[in-house]
Amino acid sequence: MDGMKHSEPAEVEVWPFAVTRSVNTGFRIVAAPDFLVDEDRYSLLHDVTTGDPTDDSVYRREYRVRGSESLRLLYRVVYLKASDVGLDGDYAMSGPRRTPLIEGVVCRTPSGPPATRELFAEVHSRCGADVRAFFEADSTTHPVSPFPSFAAPGTGETVRVADLDPYLADDPSLADAPYLAEGMDSTAPTGRRPSGIRRLAAAALSAVLSALGLRTGRQAGTVPGEGGEGAGAPGYARGGGTSPGPARRLGRAAGAIVLTVLVVLLVRKFK
């Protein structure tokens, strides 16, 4: 129960991590487990850690990959305090918004550590200097700091845990995802690269739709963050001349449908 003393000591090896942003940067991984940095896999922390900022609970989530490996993340999402980065006031600000801070531990054993305030105080202490250095540098080229493991406190004041659905890194649906979407943070994890025939078919379909005048314009995205919404609405590509009549538009649509079916059959044949 929240606030009760955890009375069963258990020494569990954990690795600390921290994710935050600065004034002019997007969210960046500031500190990560050394084994993930060595293997160049620390970017998984971007996708696995989700949740709203709260002081009342922490999050627990499993990361599964390659059918056998499993990592367990225990983390909290709070707002970065101004005092943590040498500023006055209550919170460190990124423009008009408070700056979220994600900090926690990665565990490689089936049973994770007890979720205690002492554990998160230890993580905050270990990663604090690196978080401040990143915030002050305010640069996207600031290096990720690798951290070794430590023994998680076996006792302490427990906090409420919200269990999230496992993150399945080897989900077959990722096979059709873009390898690196335009505008994606280069540190964010990517899906598996689509096959050559699928990339070719997608490019051919895009060209056909463009030629038929049926390709829509790029949709404006929203800006995440406290109180932030992106401006703009879906638009359509503008062309010169007068608009085609209903009969011509219907003919173009029918042609696009037929070609789309042919492309789908081609993709299935070469899967």
Region of poorest pLDDT, from 86-90, 120-124, 155-159, 193-197: 193-197
pLDDT band at 110 (very low <50, low <70, confident <90, very high): confident
pTM above 0.85, yes or no: no
Phi, psi (degrees; rounded to nearest 5) at 139: -135, 140
Could you report how far apart the first and last alpha carbons of the chain are, in Å? 52
- What is the mean predicted confidence (pLDDT) over 150-179? 78
E strand intervals along the chain: 5-6, 12-20, 28-33, 57-65, 69-79, 93-94, 97-98, 100-107, 145-147, 150-152, 156-157, 160-163, 167-168
In this structure, is the dihedral angle defined by the CA atoms of residues 50, 148, 94 and 218, taken in order, positive or negative?
A: negative
8-state DSSP, 196: H
pLDDT band at 111 (very low <50, low <70, confident <90, very high): confident
Pairing of strands 156-157, 100-107: unpaired
Q: Answer whether 149's CB lies under 8 Å from 35's CB.
A: no
Region of poorest pLDDT, from 96-100, 146-150, 181-185: 181-185
Q: What's the pLDDT score for residue 2?
A: 56
Q: Answer whether 49's CB lies under 8 Å from 73's CB.
A: yes
pLDDT digits (tens, 9 = 90+) for 204-257: 545 444 444 444 333 333 333 454 333 333 332 333 334 445 555 566 666 667
pLDDT digits (tens, 9 = 90+) for 40-54: 999 999 999 999 999
